[in-house]
Structure 1
Amino acid sequence: MTPRLRQAREAGQEVWIAFGGEADQPWLRLLRRGFRHCFAALRDEAGWTVVEPLSGRLLVARLTVPAAYDLPGFYERAGLVVVGPFHPGPARPVRLPGLLPMSCVGLCRAVLGAGAPFALTPWGLCRRLVRILAGNRKKVLTPSGT
């Protein structure tokens, strides 16, 4: 492993998941209002990165704001629901690839790591993440039993 890769893996990251969105696609109207989309904002010592799946493409943007900037507060003032911070859990080997199609929920779960709660909709993911924060204040998402 190169020193740069080792440093990137050891760097502490914090993850916030933001929920919101209007129905820009007709099928999104089936989802709960205000919870039709989710995306991840990651902070490390160098700054902020936003990972957002859009219709037909994936947006990954490194923002030109300092790491101390209150990006979750900005999103909350914009009317989004923001849950976090979480420290992503380690990767875990799996025998078979996931069978669910790529979605905003699946991408957010992948960013959170192997210990992320199972959910199919943004509302379901939000409920489970809030429960994690409210329950035992466990912010590091690790697989069950560890």
Structure 2
Amino acid sequence: MRQRLAHRRAVEAAGQSVWIAFGGVADQPWLRLLRPGFRHCFAALGDEAGWTVLEPLSGRLMVARLPVEGSFDLPAFYRRAGLRVLGPFTPGDPAPRLLPPIAPFSCVALCRALLGPEAPAAWTPYQLFLGLGGQVKENNHQT
């Protein structure tokens, strides 16, 4: 329990924020079943020292500390690249559970885990986008 409290203080001291990015590339055939533009999501954690990206890929989790300054505007960079980006959010507190989660590990599950118990219920990137307050203009799919 002490270790968890130390992690929480470290997050608060660093001023960590979570940004969730949504994109539409379908690198697996079954992803074509999902809404275009919302076939994948990933998280970027920002703090005063820089950015860490957590990207669940097919079969593995990529975690990368980006070689950019802490002041670099990564959300704007992703938006210019055509992604939809929501945030900043504060990383969620850990919550006790009676049973372990039964949901499969997915991009949505990872993003929800970072947001904590207050994260909206969602199975697909589009559901998460809407649950976090994102809006889509139907005529051109832009936020």
Q: TM-score range by the shorter chain?
A: 0.7 to 0.9
**Structure 2 vs 1, CA of residues 9 and 40 (structure 1 numbering), >3 Å: closer, same or farther?**
same
Aligned to 1:76: 79
Distance in 1 between residues matched to 2:8 and 2:116, nearest whole Å: 18
Alignment counterpart, residue 89 of structure 2, candidates 72, 76, 86? 86
Q: Which runs of 5+ in 1 are unaligned?
A: 132-146
Q: CA deviation at 1:7?
A: 4.7
Could you tell me the percent identity over the aligned residues?
A: 66
Q: Which runs of 5+ in 2 are unaligned?
A: 135-143
Q: CA deviation at 1:113?
A: 1.2
Aligned to 2:140: none
Alignment counterpart, residue 124 of structure 1, candidates 121, 124, 127? 127
Structure 1 segment 1-146 matched on structure 2, within 5 A: 1=2, 5=7, 7-11=9-13, 12-130=15-133
Q: CA deviation at 1:63?
A: 0.6
TM-score, scaled relative to structure 2: 0.85
Q: CA deviation at 1:10?
A: 3.0
Q: Deviations for 1:18-72, whole angstroms, at most 9, x for unmatched residues?
A: 0003111000000000100000000012110000000010000001111110000
Bigger shift: 27-36 or 12-21? 12-21
Aligned residues: CA RMSD: 1.7
TM-score, scaled relative to structure 1: 0.84
